[in-house]
């Protein structure tokens, strides 16, 4: 029981070190997750939903705001 606090402390330090180490390993990985070409997906209802959801995320300025192609969304 006496060493339980030390063991928990050491486990927390080890977990922190593992998390920081993993962060440094993936630091240079590309982060452009939304740039996938969804136009190549085959026709299906599910892929239509994917294309519909992808468009507002990637083309937000074209969907809403002063650059919107639809004047009612400006």
Q: Nearest 5°: phi and psi at 23?
A: -60, -40
Which residue did the predictor score with more confidence, 65 or 7? 7
Per DSSP, the three-state class of 27 is coil
Q: What is the pLDDT of residues 10-46, one digit of tens each?
A: 999 999 999 988 888 888 776 666 667 888 889 999 9
What pTM, to 2 d.p., does this model score? 0.41
Backbone angle region of 63, left / alpha / beta, with phi > 0 → left and psi within -120 to 50 → alpha: alpha
Please state, in angstroms and rounded to a whole number, the distance separating the CA atoms of residues 70 and 54. 18
């Amino acid at each position: 029981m006496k060493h339980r606090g030390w063991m928990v402390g050491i486990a927390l330090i080890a977990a922190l070190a593992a998390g920081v180490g993993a962060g440094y390993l993936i630091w240079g990985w590309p982060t452009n997750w939304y740039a996938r070409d969804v136009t190549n997906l085959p026709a299906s209802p599910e892929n239509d939903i994917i294309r519909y959801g992808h468009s507002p995320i990637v083309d937000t300025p074209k969907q809403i705001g002063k650059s919107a192609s639809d004047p009612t969304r400006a």
